[in-house]
Chain A
Amino acid sequence: MTAYLRSPLTAVWLILTSVTFASWWLGASGDSHRLGVSLSITGSVVAIALLKTRLVFWYFMEVRSAPAWLRWTCDGWLAGLAVVIFALYSCGS
């Protein structure tokens, strides 16, 4: 049972949880001084989220060892999502 826990997956899991706490702290830090639309926090939060999703794709769903087209589709989707988010966000505010 514990033999499996030492696999790389657990390392990925640790990274993900720590990054989640980081983004939480980042998101929460915005409350204290000013509550405004700040591109920097949003940018970093979204970037972290996409990074986490990419980790999930690559390690948990073994896209790492998947055929090339699958890898490209996943990365392509993530990039596309990032572009869409920033485009709509900037044109909005």
Chain B
Amino acid sequence: MWFFVIGELWIFTCYFACYIYDRGQNPELFLAGQQLLSRGIGVLNTIILLTSSLFVALCVQATRARDVATASRFLALGGGCGVLFMLVKAGEWYVKIRERLPPSLHEFFLYYFMFTALHLIHVSLGLLILVLLWRELNPMPRRRFAAAPGAEQPRVAFIEVGATYWHIVDALWIAIFALVYLMR
């Protein structure tokens, strides 16, 4: 998983570099575009994702203490925040497109939609992983995801790997939030 995480970071670094380079070329256009973004929703999303990261981290703590009930509850809260994040983001997009600010308007909005779309894909991938973690914590009668038969205890390493990915998604959002919403 660390191999994957480093790869993701590398890909996103390329995106940030391109974004900032282009932003350097015509700052006025980007600034104008940025004013039209609502920072409030951006902050709200950041808070939501941070709380979901906290819950997932606490879930890992609980799993280490073999307290499966609490761990599942934390996991559910974390997943819930993730879904909430996606809803808020979708709402923001809808508002933007209804205000006739589609991606094809100009470069800034293309970047904005591309970054947020890519990040949404990572969030959905993360949610999928959280579902797998949930099945790991309370296995259905059928086998768990790629689990060797007979492994009774929920595998802590598997939970940690999933949590790592979720934190990376959160960290990436923090960077995107800063660069897209707040940067001058």
Contacts and interface: CB of A to CB of B under 8 A. Distances in A.
Direct A/B contact, Cβ within 8 angstroms: yes
Interface of A: 1, 4-5, 7, 9-10, 12-13, 16-17, 20-21, 23-24, 26-28, 30-31, 35-39, 41-42, 45-46, 48-50, 52-53, 56-57, 59-62, 70, 73, 77, 80-81, 84-85, 88-89, 91-93
Interface in B17-55: 17, 20-21, 23-25, 27, 31, 35, 39, 42-43, 46-47, 50-51, 53-54
Contact of B184 (A36, A73, A85, A91): A36
Contacts, number: 128
B61 A56 contact: no
A49 B170 contact: no
A7 B23 contact: no
A20 B50 contact: yes
Interface of B: 2, 6, 9, 13, 16-17, 20-21, 23-25, 27, 31, 35, 39, 42-43, 46-47, 50-51, 53-54, 56-58, 61-62, 70, 73-74, 160, 163-164, 167-168, 170-171, 174-175, 177-179, 181-184
8 contacts: A4-B61, A9-B58, A9-B61, A23-B182, A27-B181, A49-B178, A60-B54, A60-B170
